[in-house]
Amino acid sequence: MQEMKLDIAGDYLLMAATLLEIKSRMLLPKKEVTFEEEFYEEGEDPRESLIQQLVEYKQFQEAAKALKTMEEERGLYFTKPATDLEELQQAIPLAPGEVSAADLIAALQKMYQKLQKKKPLQARMEQEQYTVDQTMTWIMEKLDNLPHDSDQRLPFTDFFEVQTKAQIVNTFLAMLELVKERKINFSQESTYGDIYILRNMGVLANE
pLDDT attached to residue 136: 92
CA–CA separation, 173 and 166 (whole Å): 11
For the chain, domain boundaries: 2-74, 86-206
pLDDT tens readout for residues 138-155: 999 999 988 877 778 898
Mean pLDDT score of the chain, rounded to an integer? 69
pLDDT attached to residue 124: 46
- DSSP track, 128-163: -SS-HHHHHHHHHHHHHTS-TTS-SEEEGGGG-SS-
pLDDT at 137 over 90: yes
**With contact defined as beta carbons under 8 Å apart, do 143 and 198 qualify?**
yes
Residue 182 backbone zone (phi > 0: left; psi -120 to 50: alpha; other: beta): left
CATH classification (class only), 86-206: mainly alpha
pLDDT tens readout for residues 54-86: 667 667 777 777 777 777 776 666 666 665 655
For the chain, state the CA radius of gyration: 36
- Specify the pTM: 0.46
Those residues with Cβ within 8 angstroms of residue 39's Cβ, 6 or more apart along the chain or in another chain:
25, 45, 46, 47
- The enclosing H or E element of 199 equals strand 195-199
Which DSSP symbol is given to 71?
A: H
pLDDT tens readout for residues 82-131: 656 555 445 555 454 467 777 777 777 777 777 666 655 554 444 456 78
Name the pLDDT band for 39 (thresholds 50, 70, 90): very low
Which amino acid is present at 7? D
pLDDT at 202 over 70: no
